[in-house]
Amino acid sequence: MCLECLKERMPDRGSTCLDSGSYLLNYAGCAECSNKQFPLELSRVSESTGGDEDITFEHRCAVCNHVIAIHSFSFQIDGEYQEYSMGCDLCGQGSATVSILPDDPREQQLF
């Protein structure tokens, strides 16, 4: 991975979790060849066990194949919730927990 290709290392993305794509606002361009074309997603590996899924891939320069960052994404089912997380120097870090129920019990108001 190359921090010179980035505007900021691992920005906080809140609840945004990408299993594909790139956060182009954080891409300064390839430090090796100065190219600013969209990075490619290469060496994608997806592993599923039970209801869990882990995805990793490399962001690479479209011209010189320079490794810009390594992206990881995970999805898990934990009881009544789906948990997502992402970590990548280019795309940032984020996590989200979403209820699988129609009405999220965490958001019910007490009267």
Render pLDDT for 10-39 as a digit per residue (tens, 0 to 9): 999 999 999 999 999 999 999 999 999 999
Cβ atoms of 55 and 44 closer than 8 Å: yes
Output the average pLDDT for the chain. 90
pTM across the whole model: 0.86
Question: Cα 86–19–66 angle (5° rounding)?
Answer: 85
Q: Which backbone phi and psi does 25 adopt, to 5 degrees? A: -65, -20
CA nearest neighbour of 55 among 23, 93, 89, 19: 19
Q: CA-CA distance, 37 to 64, in Å (whole number)?
A: 11
* Cα dihedral sign, 7-9-12-16: positive
- Predicted confidence at residue 111, as pLDDT, reads 53
